[in-house]
Amino acid sequence: MATATTPVIETGGLGKRYGRTTALADCTLRVPAGRIVGLVGPNGAGKSTLLGLTCGIVAPTTGSIEVLGSRPGAGAAQLAKVGFVAQDAPVYRGLSVADHLRLGARLNPRWDRPLAERRVKRLGLDPVQKAGRLSGGQRAQLALTIAAAKRAELLILDEPVASLDPLARRAFLRDLLDFVAELGVSVVLSSHLLGDLEQVCDHLIVLAAGRVQLAGDVADLLAVHHRVAGAVPPSAERIHEDVIRSDAAVPGAQPVDLEDLGMAYMTRAAVASIGGAA
């Protein structure tokens, strides 16, 4: 049975191949409960594959994965614990906002109707409006509302802000933060851009070329990465250009921000893959 210390996601040597394409390889992760996890990586990095494995809609080729202490998708109880919003916030275009809430109530045993209605009202969504006529931001909010009203313990949002303009992005993420604090759920959200997520995530996973490049709580990662102007100390590891990793303090080193840190790992992976292909 899952307890407060059960990791939300735990994987060991997890891998997924589609024919000859390796979408994810040797993925070993431990995500503690209560985090807002930013899953970042370039196109084709394996983000959707990892999220699909987490929800149980993709089966692993190798290795293991447990979500909230059980195999993903293993039975109705496990499915009810995970809310998933796929890329582009899919909704039924011909159904109204109210129809979506009715459908949610019918399909989900732990449906929180007051929460769903309160959120729809606060967001100013018209219950009779057809979902196909909502803006991209409103559709994203409707999809998030449905996932949250399931009363899931883990919300998985695949590129939730990709189709939103900068103002709508900010509003969506601010709202998500309030909402997560209110519900006490864990969240994983993916993006190509760490800049989209750095204001909200407190745990980071950087994927590139189907492999985990970096993972951990943001505060821990920022504590051991630095910028250096000159030579890299022998005990430190150069990640890319002036970004280094060192557990020990480095005299004269400057702090690195999260966006630059993620970019350093993604660039290092891209350079290595070009080198490997050459």
Ligand X SMILES: Nc1ncnc2c1ncn2[C@@H]1O[C@H](COP(=O)(O)OP(=O)(O)OP(=O)(O)O)[C@@H](O)[C@H]1O
Does residue 54 bind ligand X (CB under 6 A)?
no
- CB nearer to ligand X: pick between 192 and 238: 192
Q: How many residues bind ligand X (CB under 6 A)?
A: 12
Does residue 11 bind ligand X (CB under 6 A)?
no
Stretch binding ligand X (CB under 6 A), from 43-51, 61-69, 178-186, 233-241: 43-51
Q: Supply 255's token pair.
A: 């702090």
Residue in 35, 47, 139, 227 binding ligand X, rule: CB under 6 A: 47
Stretch binding ligand X (CB under 6 A), from 7-15, 37-45, 65-73, 194-202: 37-45
- CB nearer to ligand X: pick between 15 and 41: 41
Residue in 13, 21, 107, 223 binding ligand X, rule: CB under 6 A: 21
Residue in 8, 31, 45, 228 binding ligand X, rule: CB under 6 A: 45
Does residue 46 bind ligand X (CB under 6 A)?
yes
Does residue 193 bind ligand X (CB under 6 A)?
no
Does residue 41 bind ligand X (CB under 6 A)?
yes
* Full DSSP string of the chain: ---TTS-SEEEEEEEEEETTEEEEEEEEEEE-TT-EEEEE--TTSSHHHHHHHHHTSS--SEEEEEETTB-TT-HHHHHHHEEEE-TT----TTSBHHHHHHHHHHH-TT--HHHHHHHHHHTT--TTSBGGGS-HHHHHHHHHHHHHHTT-SEEEESSTTTTS-HHHHHHHHHHHHHHHHHHT-EEEEEES-HHHHTTT-SEEEEEETTEEEEEEEHHHHHHHEEE-SSPPPTTSEEEETTEEE-SS--TT-EE--HHHHHHHHHHHHHHHHHHHH-
Does residue 180 bind ligand X (CB under 6 A)?
no
- CB nearer to ligand X: pick between 46 and 104: 46
Does residue 49 bind ligand X (CB under 6 A)?
yes
Residue at token pair 């109530």: 105
Does residue 44 bind ligand X (CB under 6 A)?
yes
Q: Which of 210, 194, 172, 177 lies closest to 48, judged by CA?
A: 210
Stretch binding ligand X (CB under 6 A), from 47-55, 74-82, 137-145, 263-271: 47-55
CA 100 to mean position of chain CA atoms: 24
Does residue 38 bind ligand X (CB under 6 A)?
no
Residue in 14, 15, 27, 48 binding ligand X, rule: CB under 6 A: 48
Binding residues (CB under 6 A) for ligand X: these are 18, 21, 23, 41, 43-49, 192
